[in-house]
Amino acid sequence: MSKIIKIAVVGYGYWGPNLVRNFSENEDVRIVSVCDLDKTKLALVKRKYPKINITTNYDSLIKDRSIDAVVIATPTSTHFPLAKKALIANKHIWVEKPFTNTESQARELVELAQKKKKIIFVDHIFLYTEAIQAIKRLILKKKLGRIYYFDSTRINLGLFQPDTNVVWDLAPHDISIMLYLMGEAPLSVAAFAHSHAIKKLEDTAYLSFKFRGKKSAHIRLSWLSPVKIRQTLIAGTKKMIVYDDLESTEKIKVYDYGISINKTSKELSTSGYQYRTGDIIIPSIIHKEALVNACRAFVDSIKTNKAPISDGMNGYLVVKIIEAAQKSLQSGGRPVGIM
């Protein structure tokens, strides 16, 4: 199928301009319309992209039967109603993260899309980075051995937002990466979050996950850190990985490190353990904007009718886990079951 996908973009705020720019550079796509309630923003669209229609009327927009897909980049609380209408109108949908405000909304959309045979693409953008793809390949090739843990830190100063907290804002990134790399969902989560600076606005959070077997995960999030860190450790029986998203050329380091019990040692002492500290390899990663890959993946999903890696089920799972985390942090950190 070589047909051009016709799309409409809804929401031209923080992320919308990136979506319009990227989709407009994708040869298989034509952006028919951009919709926003703010006419000043629509004027910006018109200035930069004179051929794209602009509108404030979403309901009439989705009546346009020539539109194949709707890209939703509006505030989270509006994702559900806008996505639902789009699916009902037989559109494929792209939804920014987090997918919805609640698990039940997410489930409803997933079921509706199944019924309508439409693609849901949740923009868990990090899954489309060359770095995460390279790590996933290493895991699939069993290079890491059995996974021990996933441990991620995503902290910086800002951007506080009044209508959400640091968990809903930042955790979708790490949870979607965690689900993708671990290849399974956690059993439970315990969450601690603190409103240090602004009343009732959690700016720092720690999520602890249990998985089947002895696997674990931990996510550390902050809007209130003097330093920006985006570092993830993933360790397995054979290899360990440090993924530093802020590095330009050395994003991934693969350590041939490990530990084993020293069978030859008679007594169980400190010397009863052997450490392997072999070479470290920094694989060459092609520098490419993740959004280019994500747009490509959305188009491919529509064309081939195959679910993307960040499909509705994936978006649903992320929301479900964040809801459980929210429940845990409101109970003071009690572990909450997920599966």
Task: Report the site for its own copies in 93-122 (rule: CB under 8 A).
Answer: none
Binding mask 248-287 for its own copies (x = CB under 8 A): -xx--x-xxxxx-x------xxx-xx-x-xxxxxxxx---
Nearer Cβ to its own copies (73/86): 73
DSSP state of 195: -
Which residue, 60 or 277, has its beta carbon nearer to its own copies? 277
Task: Write the DSSP string, 199-230.
Answer: TT---EEEEEEE-STT-EEEEEEESEEEEEEE
Task: For residue 159, say if its preceding peptide bond is cis, omega within 30 degrees of 0.
Answer: yes
CA atoms of 90 and 105, how far apart (whole Å): 18
Helix locations, 49-97, DSSP H? 58-61, 79-88
| Tokens 């494929």 found at | 92
Name the residue nearer to its own copies (CB basis): 107 or 238. 238
DSSP letters along 138-159, please?
A: HHHTTTT-SEEEEEEEEEEE--
- Region from 80-88, 96-104, 144-152, 290-298 binding its own copies, contact rule CB under 8 A: 144-152
Least distance CB 290 / its own copies (angstroms): 19
In terms of DSSP H, where are the helices of 123-269? Answer: 130-140, 166-182
**Which one, 57 or 75, has the nearer CB to its own copies?**
75
Size of the site for its own copies (CB under 8 A): 64
Contact of 125 with 114, CB cutoff 8 Å: no
Q: How many other CB atoms are there within 10 angstroms of residue 174's CB atom?
A: 24
For its own copies, the closer CB: 54 or 89 = 54
CA distance 41 to 82: 19
Window 170-209: residues binding its own copies (CB under 8 A): 190, 192, 194-198, 204, 206, 208
DSSP 3-state of 313? helix
Tokens 């249990």, residue located: 210
- Closest separation in Å from C-beta 35 to its own copies: 20
Applying the rule CB under 8 A, the residues between 50 and 89 that interact with its own copies are 50
Q: What residue type is 301 in one-letter code? A: S
134 binds its own copies (CB under 8 A): no
The site map against its own copies for 202-241 (x = CB under 8 A) is --x-x-x-----xxx-x-x-x-xxxxx----x-x-x--xx
Footprint of its own copies (CB under 8 A): 50, 148-149, 151, 157-162, 190, 192, 194-198, 204, 206, 208, 214-216, 218, 220, 222, 224-228, 233, 235, 237, 240-242, 249-250, 253, 255-259, 261, 268-270, 272-273, 275, 277-284, 332-335
